[in-house]
Amino acid sequence: MHRLLGLIIGLLLLLSQPLASHAAEVLQVRSATLLQVGDRNRNYTVQLACIDVAVDDQQRAQDWLRAELPRRRRVNLRPKGSADGVLIARVTPLGDELDLGAALIQEGLAQSTCLEG
């Protein structure tokens, strides 16, 4: 029984380790809704999906994102589309449950632009 449990735990660790080591990493917060992200050898721009930040809140939202996303913070991307070479995605820091767009809305720094349902 202990041997089977050890084998299962070892298999789970082996399967989960490559996923964590290849997560996208934040390289830079470029604006209140744009991130520069790196994934292995690729760098690309990601726009936070489903939010709009008012002009008056741009700097505060950008400062908030920088505080939440230090350089090299690993994130999970859930793509929603693309526009002009920019990936539009919901972005969730690994270890957190709330995506950044929803967090900005909760902080009062953004408005939702997507219909849920």
Number of domains in the chain: 1
Tell me, yes or no, whether 86 lies in a domain: yes
Please check whether residue 104 is in contact with residue 90, taking contact to mean a CB–CB distance below 8 angstroms. Answer: no
DSSP three-state, residue 26: strand
Tell me, yes or no, whether 11 lies in a domain: no
* Domain with 54 in it: 24-112
73 φ/ψ angles, rounded to the nearest 5 degrees: -65, 130
Please check whether residue 49 is in contact with residue 88, taking contact to mean a CB–CB distance below 8 angstroms. Answer: yes
Q: Average of pLDDT values for 101-113?
A: 95
Tell me, yes or no, whether 19 lies in a domain: no
Indicate if the pLDDT at residue 1 is higher than 70.
no
Between CA 113 and CA 74 the distance in angstroms is 25
Tell me, yes or no, whether 10 lies in a domain: no
Q: How confident is the model at residue 80 (pLDDT cuts 50, 70, 90)?
A: very high
Q: How confident is the model at residue 92 (pLDDT cuts 50, 70, 90)?
A: very high
Higher pLDDT residue, 81 or 12?
A: 81
Tell me, yes or no, whether 49 lies in a domain: yes
Amino acid 39: pLDDT: 84
Indicate if the pLDDT at residue 65 is higher than 80.
yes
Tell me, yes or no, whether 44 lies in a domain: yes
114 φ/ψ angles, rounded to the nearest 5 degrees: -110, 145
Tens-place pLDDT, residues 18-62: 444 347 999 999 999 999 999 888 899 999 999 999 999 999 999
Looking up tokens 């690309």, which residue turns up? 44
Indicate if the pLDDT at residue 115 is higher than 80.
no
Amino acid 19: pLDDT: 42
What is the torsional sign of CA 34, 67, 90, 113? negative
Tell me, yes or no, whether 81 lies in a domain: yes
CATH code, 94:
2.40.50.90
Tell me, yes or no, whether 7 lies in a domain: no
